[in-house]
Amino acid sequence: EPEVTQTPSHQVTQMGQEVILRCVPISNHLYFYWYRQILGQKVEFLVSFYNNEISEKSEIFDDQFSVERPDGSNFTLKIRSTKLEDSAMYFCAIARQGILDTQYFGPGTRLTVL
Amino acid sequence: AQTVTQSQPEMSVQEAETVTLSCTYDTSESDYYLFWYKQPPSRQMILVIRQEAYKQQNATENRFSVNFQKAAKSFSLKISDSQLGDAAMYFCAYRVLDSNYQLIWGAGTKLIIKP
């Protein structure tokens, strides 16, 4: 099973601050995804990323969110001005090869906005 | 729009017994994938099993197996010989086969293992 790490494991921030969540696949992957899970709620798709560009995004992924893969390795999710309702677990998922490949999830980052 | 429904918010089973978790979905697609993911208290999301819709044979992974009923749009997970380490939230997910390939998730079932 492909390995992927996420940093930090827990981030506490003040409302209005910017946060960057990082996803680091251990080996080469082509397809990246961000999901979030508000405590006690369903997992929600945020965005998919392929070939260094966004391939799809959900309604949740508004202008305060952005993703990039600046160095060809780390895959980041930036939230520009955090809101209380952004408090959630954020999961990075990767797919190794083809578009039909299984998505494997990182351990998640718990974001707490105060 | 595709939806995934898990009607059991919580299930409990005696250690070493067998338990079945239910999942139904709604789609107009003929080709898709279905998944069961496990989320232990650490909250990491771990793949348990995957089923391709074009395959008639039910997927199995050691103690985990599925009952895939395509016509009924049902995808249940059976856990045999339940172990304490199986205690977790279990999520059923559907894979959309279009340009984004995002997963669509059910609400989850909390599985409690009684020693």
Q: For the segment A77-112, what is each residue's pLDDT rounded down to a tens digit? A: 999 999 999 999 999 998 876 556 788 899 999 999
Would you call A42 and B108 a contact, using CB atoms and an 8 Å cutoff? yes
Comparing alpha-carbon positions, the chain A residue that sits nearest to B50 is A102
Q: What are phi and psi of B54, to 5 degrees?
A: -80, -10
Residue B86: which pLDDT band, with cuts at 50, 70 and 90? very high
Amino acid at the residue B28: S
Contacts of B33 in chain A (CB under 8 A): 100, 102
**Cα distance between residue A14 and residue A19, in whole Å:** 10
Amino acid type, A108: G
How far is B8 from B23, CA to CA, in rounded Å?
9
Q: Collapsing DSSP states into helix, strand and coil, what is residue A61?
A: coil
Looking at the predicted structure, is the pLDDT value of residue B99 above 60?
Answer: no
- Nearest residue to A24 via CA among A52, A2, A46, A1: A2
Task: Give me the pLDDT at residue A100, please.
Answer: 62
Of A73-77, B78-82, B88-92, the poorest mean pLDDT is in A73-77
Can you tell me the distance from the alpha carbon of A113 to that of B99, in angstroms, rounded to the nearest whole number?
A: 33
CA distances from A66 to A53, A69, A107, B49 (A): 11, 11, 20, 31
Please list every residue in chain A whose beta carbon sits closer than 8 Å to the beta carbon of residue B108. 42
